[in-house]
Amino acid sequence: MDTYRAIVTKRDTRVYDGRPIPEEVLTRILNAGRMAGSAKAAQPVRLIVVREQARKEALAACGRFTPHVPAAAAVVALVLVPEADQPPGQFAIFRGPFDAGRAAQNIMLAAWEEGITSCPASTHDNDGAAKVLGLPPGHVVANLIALGYPGGADPVTGNRPRMALDGYAHFETWPA
């Protein structure tokens, strides 16, 4: 699928058909995340792939909008490691999550090209999620990505429209 088509057709959807993701496809998807750039090439993002049912459910219990997570074929947790130039457990307020977002989008677009849909989910209970995944101190879950082959219409998002381009993009300065 060409890149632009993957970008504009990708939707965050939450209904999966239960089929597992073949290992070689999963590897390709994880590799897409790995290749995302990062500020100062700090590479602050790591992934943990969760497929065991009990662990998917435990992760889902750490978020408020996660009913789709246990049914995902795989849940990818985006973990931020402490950055060398930040105090322990701290992340540049925009930089780490921004880099996690870059990796997440690579992962979701590579998945979509393989016919796999996805939806991010926040872990509002970050300490709980860290415990489920056995993270060392100072590491934090930036987000989860649920991945799976599409299983039908999404009851939450449908085909959620986006704002028009002329309200989204401006030129030179914020419009008066």
Rule CB under 8 A: is residue 31 a binding residue for its own copies?
yes
* Residue range at the interface with its own copies (CB under 8 A); choices 14-22, 46-54, 82-90, 146-154: 46-54
CB nearer to its own copies: pick between 10 and 149: 10
- Three-state secondary-structure class, residue 127: helix
Rule CB under 8 A: is residue 2 a binding residue for its own copies?
yes
DSSP element (H, E) containing 109: helix 95-113
Q: How far apart are CA 77 and CA 142, in angstroms?
A: 8
In this structure, which amino acid lies at residue 61?
A
In contact, 104 and 127? CB cutoff 8 Å: no
176 class by beta-carbon count within 10 Å (0-12 exposed, 13-18 middle, 19+ buried): exposed
Residues 85, 87, 88, 169: which binds its own copies (CB under 8 A)? 169
Find the shortest distance in angstroms from Cβ 106 to its own copies. Answer: 5
* Residue range at the interface with its own copies (CB under 8 A); choices 14-22, 82-90, 146-154, 166-174: 166-174
Residues 15, 42, 51, 149: which binds its own copies (CB under 8 A)? 51
